[in-house]
Amino acid sequence: MKQTYKISGMTCNGCRGHVESTLSKVEGVTHATVDLVKAEAEIEMENHIPLEVFQNALQDDGGRYELMPYTASLKGTSETLENNFEHSEVKTEVDPPKLMTHTYHIHGMTCNGCRGHVETILNTVEGVSKATVDLKQAEAKIEMKQHIAIETFQKALKADGDTYTIHPEGIHKHEMPAKKSKPKDTGEGTYYCPMHCEGEKTYDAPGDCPVCGMDLVKEQSLKAPKTQYTCPMHPEVISDKLGDCPTCGMDLVPVKADVSEEDKTYKKLLNKLKIATVFTLPIFIIAMSEMINNNPLYDIMSLKSWNWVQFALSIPVVFYATWMFFERAYRSIKTWNLNMFTLIGIGASVAWLFSVFGLIFPDVIPDQFKTDTGTVHVYFEAATVILTLVLMGQVLEARAHSKTNNAIKELLKLAPNEAIRVVDGEEETIAIDDINLGDLLRVKPGGKIPVDGSVYEGESSIDESMITGEPIPVSKSEGDKVSSGTINGKQSFVMIAEKIGGDTLLSQIIEMVNTASRSQAPIQKLADKISGYFVPVVVGISILTFILWVIFGPDPKYAYAFVNAIAVLIIACPCALGLATPMSVMVGVGKGAQNGVLIKNAEALEKMDKIDVLIIDKTGTITEGKPSVEKVVSVSDGIDQNTVLQYIASINTMSEHPLAEATVKYAKEQKLSFLKATDFNSVSGKGVTAVIDGKHIAIGNAKMMEDATISVASDLEDAVSKEQKQGKTVSYISVNQVAVGFIVISDKIKSTSKKAIKALQESGIDVVMLSGDNQETATAVADELGLKHFKGGMLPQDKLSEVERYQNDGRKVAMAGDGVNDAPALAKSDVGIAMGTGTDVAIESAAITLVKGDLHGIVKARKLSENVMKNIKQNLFFALIYNSVGVPIAAGVLYPFFGILLSPMIAALAMSFSSVSVIANALRLKSAKID
């Protein structure tokens, strides 16, 4: 049986997937599908499952979402998800009891996720019937049967972490003391395996990967190191602020930054390599001297005595410098996660133990392993040289690893450690951690912007190239947004802090890069599948090599068999195969971040290379997304032009659409007063309705007028059509079911759009424009851009249907958009691309985000994907060819034809450099051109 329910509390595609997963896990459910736009859940079940079971499952998951019976349709669709959920009440026949409603001011919210979280907390307070939070107005409307003291709500928010505060209506954030917000620091103390053996799993402490045995790599901290100061004369004096030494009065200077975790690992391995080399070199010289006629060393001591010297010299190498390899080998066998260190451990330990055994019990060893003088052939030099060369490979890898995430390190350097706060006209230098929301900060010429905010006073030009990848400075004046880490030009200005800590754009970019670097690309499944069989197969080949040399090899058969079997174990390198994909992904994601292309996961990077259809929205994607009102027209004798504008702007104060904001801004410029609007309703893709002074007013497109059965005069339609043919957006306005005028809004096409579309078309991608605007406006824009494929009048579900249509035809579809109405299509497409200037919901639903928000970023993303996939394929080819050729040569396949055998020491050198070669090839991506 199948049942449909209403879901409230979802704000993004991540919420949708989470709810779907939770409901699917309920016992008895065969399938659950959740629709984000409709806020519905369709559940298939074997037998009827009570509603309470699903409600309990969602409550146990944190109570963020609520499931209700589907007894009626929504009061109205919404342009934004917030409105959608606010109108998702269930209609019943019986009127509910009278409720009292209180309005409060909420402080501390910075995004739609905050809004949803606050709403959930308030709804869980006992006695609350319904709580609705408005992010833009920073208000909470709470319905309750009996009065609940504000202290109760304050206590609930404080218990959640004290991130948000609630106050009586009328007290706004600039009237209350600013509250310190601690920045996120998800990178601190977080380690991951460079081969991603367990997917995106991270570890809390340094060590070895339990699967492949490689050193765990520390994720770059999202928190820039805090600057401390010390006295040059008295280093024991440490201060968090600039000042004078309390002992000698000298100026304090910054403390030198501590060595990074990667450098510590590198230096530790380098020290061990030095020790291993010091002891291995004499062993190697002693062993190789046997090839010299009349060996002068034998004049000092006998061969047997020199063997004991080799044994003594090998102890520090085996039991100190490279002991970690044997520990990893033991763990790999114990857990049956066989890896490179399994092979090294077996090969080196067999060689070393055989030598020790032959040294102590020579009479037990077959004559095949003895010299003419009866001394057993020892392999201390093979064991120690192998281990030392592997250690050298680890040192080189450690150094190379530190370069793969240079992009994050460079981004971290952008964040300044200090800022200048302005309090009552006085300036003070403070640490970044001490900045509060609402603080006024002075940014001096050439200084870095400390946090995200907007210009409060003054103007300047800002270099945003480190975030957007665009070299031309951007002019900023009062009210314009500025981002942390960008660099001020030649003028000083004052900004107001609006996002701090982990909420800044820079922190979010770093977090996204960290997450994407740990993600696995689908192509890696091939390498993982091969790696699963790799070690057992190599061990089998090694045993077979020993047997075949014993049967068919020349004398001394056992010596040849022993050496070649070890060579097979040593030369095989599963790590080269395992590193092929993640190293390229890590460098590629970092490269993208430096050029304003943020990759959410490696899968998007791989899929972008296969895209052959790109669907783009018009407003905010092709155009600037900064619409302006050109003119307001009234065709009614009783309503003048200013009244039409007054009606439009008063209603649009309740909407978040860019076009609505343009009308409100225009009305303010005309110094018009705003009227009180009630019963506001937003119809996604069509328009809005409300009541002003008892008059029912509708604002929207032709579909809105048609659906509301509003009469539109033919001369009015002609006037509107004339404007639309010029590529302008026109909205009708009706009063009491009669169209009385229209407003014309233009939105300039971005300077990069035409060039970017042409470049994409030349690369073989069909570019399709789907616009919510009318067909005539869409035609005008398409003609200007040279677009063959386009459609106008598209609703969110229409865009979704178009994506599905192309996918059903076997096409790989990317969707680029910036609004809430684009979220369903973004989520459904093979690769969703969000404009960084768009809404939180669009960005959350997308796999790639373009910081600057223009189509040239898609060109960059495409070229980046092509370069990364090419690099991955090169790495996989090299790793597979290396092992396919190296293992047979080590087994001695060339000996019958050319008399060539591969020494285990040469095999160790080849194995060490195979992994380093893969990393070095990945690092070439840093110089790739994607502009």
Task: Write out the two tokens for 474.
Answer: 């951007």
Encoded tokens for 452: 């995200």
Catalytic residue among 208, 215, 609, 617: 617
Compute how many other C-beta atoms are within 10 angstroms of the C-beta atom of residue 418: 18
φ/ψ bin of 19: left (φ > 0), alpha (ψ from -120 to 50), beta (otherwise): alpha
Return the structure tokens found at 30: 């065969």
Q: Which two tokens stand for residue 158?
A: 């404080």
665 and 479 Cβ atoms separated by less than 8 Å: no
3-state helix/strand/coil string of 234-279: CCCCEECCCCECCCCCCECEECCCCCCHHHHHHHHHHHHHHHHHHH
The one-character DSSP state at 337 is -
- For 24-41, b where at least 16 C-beta lie within 10 A, e where not — what string? eebeebeebebebbbbbb
Active-site annotation holds for 244? no
The number of helix segments (H) and strand segments (E) in the chain equals 30, 36
Q: Which segments within 204-360 are labelled E, that is strand?
A: 217-218, 229-230, 238-239, 253-254
| Dihedral Cα 691, 696, 697, 703, nearest 10 deg | 130
Beta carbons within 8 Å of 569's beta carbon, 6+ residues apart: 343, 344, 346, 347, 538, 539, 542
Structure tokens at 562: 């022993």
Contact 37, 100 (CB under 8 A): no
- Residues with Cβ within 8 Å of 286's Cβ and at least 6 positions away in sequence, in order, are 297, 306, 309, 310, 381
Token pair listed for 416: 């300044």
What tokens appear for 279 in the block?
Answer: 């002891």
Contact 509, 851 (CB under 8 A): yes
Tokens standing for 400?
């190379």
Supply the angle between the helices 904-923 and 380-404 in degrees, to the nearest 10: 0
- Residue 805 CA to residue 387 CA, distance in Å, equals 58
370 to 288, 375, 443, 881: CA distances (angstroms): 16, 5, 79, 37
Residue carrying structure tokens 């449909």: 4
First to last CA, the chain: 54
CA-wise closest residue to 778 among 752, 798, 804, 755: 798
**Can you list the positions of beta strands (E) in 424-473?**
426-431, 440-443, 452-457, 460-463
233 CB burial (10 A radius; 0-12, 13-18, 19+): exposed
CB 511, CB 184: distance < 8 Å: yes
Distance of alpha carbon 851 from alpha carbon 510, whole angstroms: 13
Work out the number of other CB atoms within 10 angstroms of the CB of residue 777.
24
CA–CA distance, 767 with 484 (Å, rounded to integer) = 34
**Which residue shows structure tokens 């665009």?**
470
Annotated catalytic sites, by residue?
Answer: 617
